[in-house]
Chain A
Amino acid sequence: MLEILEDNWLLFLIGQYPHGPVGGLAMTLLLAAAGLSLSFPVAIALALARLSARRWLRGPATAVVYIVRGLPLIMFIFWTYFALPLLIGHTVGGVETLLFALIVYEASYLSEIIRAGIEGLPKGQVEAAKALGLGYFPTTFKIILPQVLHNMMPSLVRQFVSTIKETSLGYVISANEVTFAASQVNNQLMTQPFEVYGLLALTYFTLCFTLTSAARWLERRLTAERGGLGAQPA
């Protein structure tokens, strides 16, 4: 097992870089980070649309969220794989395909977290802002969202973990991330699949478990903070 690691650790970590494209764990992290951050604005828009009083905003946003929740991620990846080149007029690589699919997918799940956060805030916040004469946008972006984002830090970290795990589907469309790297190592070695995929599982576990633990720590801190301020629990 150690021998495999000794011979292939660089491929696992950064892929062919600097002699070729970035890959491996670096690409996994890059994809997850980019996917989650780019989905964020879309998620906020979706959440606000779902809570809107206007039906023409609420309807389509609700439909998007339900359709995404009802489909496996792999279906999205294939749709993106075939449809994106037609939409933008030139071929796209595996990494770009995966990134685009992740943005749409994550945005829907994230929007549900944001929506729950907004609904969990005491109504008095909106009423107080209105009483001060603030309009919809200042209320939303200066009063509501900052509090919601603060409260949802732990969920955000958990969502990051989910995104990291979802990037493993890059394997199916040969996007150069760490699962794909492991399958390449396995194809070279042929005889030690348990060791190769065991190492891969261990890599993901170390990374994701650290982040999950961080999310738990954040959760405890937030609860303590709320208790300390004497605010009602959400």
Chain B
Amino acid sequence: MGYVFDPAAVLTGQYLDWFIWGLATTIALTVAAWLLGMTIGIILTLVRMLPFRPLEWLVAGYVEYHRNVPLLVQILVWYFGVPQLLPRAIRMWVNSHHSEFLLAMVALGLASAAYITEDLRSGIRSIPKTQYEAARSIGFNYLQAMSYVILPQALRIVIPPLINQTLLLFKNTSLAMAIGVGELTYRTREVDSYTFKTFEAFAVATILYLAISFAIMALGSFADRRLKLEIR
């Protein structure tokens, strides 16, 4: 076919810089969205366990929305739709501060919060109710019972699914390319359109994605082995 596979052509000069920037943006987006998702996920979990039904329904609605609407559509709603609703001053501020990165982070973070709260809830549910009752009966309040008795045990159960969630989040950051965030997939397409070295460019991106994914997977199976309770 006359096509020479030449990875060096895309790994020099500015193209190498683009890949590095892309990878850095992907990692930054993953970390930022992870922190946001974890914070909101923990808050949602605590809120839905309060003995007040309407709050529980509200959280359930939140979870169902984020699980039943494609993530790409959520990103499009945030990027194209939400700024229209914001007051002018906030809109101006967002637009002058990399709106695409911020809004992608918000969309990804809120979506993973929905999955994280489900993982946390099923972890907490697996701790027998009597543990909570015992904690309350010796005088702990709700927060103390949660943080000293329930959470330390539940953490062991939820860490493996949370690592899996991190892997999904990492892969999903690639969707941010649709709104022009300069992450790895976006940069790869740029390198491709400048060099016409399509296969080289995508091979580099593929290897980078796989390397990080495999590292997260390895961490997951390590945690799985370490945290499994010995049956006595």
Contacts and interface: CB of A to CB of B under 8 A. Distances in A.
Interface string B42-86: 000000000000000000000011011111111011001110110
Most buried by A among B65, B77, B81, B177: B81
Contacts of A75: 174, 185, 202, 205-206, 209
Interface residues of A, number: 39
A207 B110 CA distance: 21
Interface in A58-102: 66-67, 69-75, 78-79, 82-83, 86
A208 B68 contact: yes
B171 A212 contact: no
A172 B210 CA distance: 22
Interface residues of B, number: 38
B214 A66 contact: yes
Interface of B: 1, 64-65, 67-74, 76-77, 80-82, 84-85, 167, 171-172, 174-175, 177-178, 185, 188-189, 198-199, 202, 205-206, 209-210, 213-214, 217
Given A71-B209, A71-B210, A75-B185, A197 B174 contact: no
Contact of A205 (B68, B189, B213): B68
Contacts of B217: 66, 69-70
What 9 pairs between A and B have smallest CB-CB spacing?
Answer: A70-B213, A194-B81, A193-B80, A168-B70, A208-B68, A72-B174, A165-B70, A72-B171, A197-B77
Nearest to A195: B81
30 contacts: A69-B217, A70-B209, A71-B171, A71-B210, A72-B185, A73-B171, A75-B174, A82-B199, A83-B199, A164-B70, A165-B70, A166-B70, A168-B70, A172-B178, A193-B80, A197-B76, A197-B81, A198-B77, A198-B81, A201-B65, A201-B69, A204-B70, A204-B73, A205-B65, A205-B68, A209-B64, A209-B68, A212-B64, A212-B67, A212-B68
Contacts of B205: 75
Q: For the complex, would chain A's binding face be called helix, strand, loop or mixed by DSSP majority?
A: helix
Contact of B76 (A66, A179, A192): A179
Nearest to A201: B69
Contacts of B85: 194
A40 interface: no
Contacts of B71: 165
A162 B76 CA distance: 18
B195 to A, nearest CB: 13
Given A171-B76, A179-B70, A183-B76, 11 more contacts: A70-B213, A71-B209, A72-B209, A161-B68, A165-B70, A169-B175, A179-B72, A196-B81, A201-B73, A204-B69, A205-B68
A197 B209 contact: no
Interface of A: 66-67, 69-75, 78-79, 82-83, 86, 161, 164-166, 168-169, 171-172, 179, 183, 186, 192-198, 200-201, 204-205, 208-209, 212
A35 B85 CA distance: 37
Contacts of A168: 70, 72-73
Contacts of B171: 70-73
A193 B202 CA distance: 32
Given A165-B71, A208-B68, A212-B67, A72 B84 contact: no
A161 B67 CA distance: 10
B69 A69 contact: no
A57 B74 CA distance: 40
Contacts of B202: 75, 78-79, 82
Given A75-B209, A172-B178, A70 B70 contact: no
A72 B209 CA distance: 8
A149 B121 CA distance: 29
